[in-house]
Amino acid sequence: MLLKAEEVYAKLNEENIQIMIPKKLLFTLLQQVDRHREVLSFEEEVINNFAIQENISNTEMIMTKLLILMAEPYGKKEIILETSIAEFLVLRDLVFCNCSLPHLRGKMRPHILKAYKDFYDYIESIFEMLEWDEVKTYWDYIKNYKTKNSKLQ
Residue 26: domain span: 4-145
In a domain, 117, yes or no: yes
Among the listed residues 26, 60, 24, 66, the one whose alpha carbon sits nearest the alpha carbon of residue 40: 60
pLDDT at 105: 61
pLDDT at 100: 77
SS3 for the chain, per residue?
CCCHHHHHHHHHHHCEEEEEEEHHHHHHHHHHHHHHHHHHHHHHHHCCCHHHHHHHHHHHHHHHHHHHHCCCCCCCCEEEEEEEHHHHHHHHHHHHHHHHCHHHHHHCCHHHHHHHHHHHHHHHHHHHHCCHHHHHHHHHHHHHCCEECCEEC
pLDDT at 43: 80
In a domain, 90, yes or no: yes
In a domain, 93, yes or no: yes
Under the banding of pLDDT at 50, 70 and 90, the label for residue 104 is low
What tens digit of pLDDT does each residue of 113-148 get?
888 899 999 999 999 999 999 999 999 999 888 654
The Cα–Cα gap between 118 and 126 comes to 13
In a domain, 150, yes or no: no
End-to-end C-alpha distance for the chain, whole angstroms: 15
In a domain, 92, yes or no: yes
What tens digit of pLDDT does each residue of 40-72 get?
888 876 666 888 889 999 999 999 999 998 886
Strand partners, 20: 80
In a domain, 153, yes or no: no
What tens digit of pLDDT does each residue of 82-103 get?
999 999 999 999 999 887 766 6
In a domain, 86, yes or no: yes
In a domain, 50, yes or no: yes
What tens digit of pLDDT does each residue of 19-38 get?
999 988 898 899 989 998 99
Cβ neighbour number for residue 114 with a 10 Å cutoff: 11
If one counts the domains in the chain, the total is: 1
